Amino acid sequence: MRRNRILLIGVAAIVATMLTAPDSRADENQYLAQIADALNGKLTSSQAVTLGDTACQAVRSAMANGMTLGKARSQADEAVGYAQQDMGLNLTMADGMHLVDAAVDQLC
């Protein structure tokens, strides 16, 4: 019984730390490197980071509303699609998905 309680307290502490930790950004260079060979379209670094930030915001919002990571990523795909259109870019759906994948891996 005591062992289970200690384990539960440890898990709760880890979860609390993850939820209250400030947003730490991974190296943007890693994000840019991950998308460098994956995209068919051309983006500046600034455009790519802006779209990555859009993806992260969509994922965080969706997960805060109780969605699974898969559904949150779908929301992010959609958000990145709209954002790239608003930016006047002509990226493919696959490009958008690569951006979301890299953002989740490196920026979020």
Q: For the chain, what are the domain ranges?
A: 24-106
pLDDT per residue as tens digits for the range 45-97: 999 999 999 999 999 999 999 999 999 999 999 999 999 999 999 899 999 99
SS3 call for 39: coil
- What is the helix, strand, coil percentage profile of the chain, to 5? 75, 0, 25
- CA-based nearest residue to 51, from 4, 19, 97, 6: 97
Please give the model's pTM, rounded to 2 decimal places.
0.73
Provide the pLDDT confidence category of residue 1 given band limits of 50, 70 and 90: low
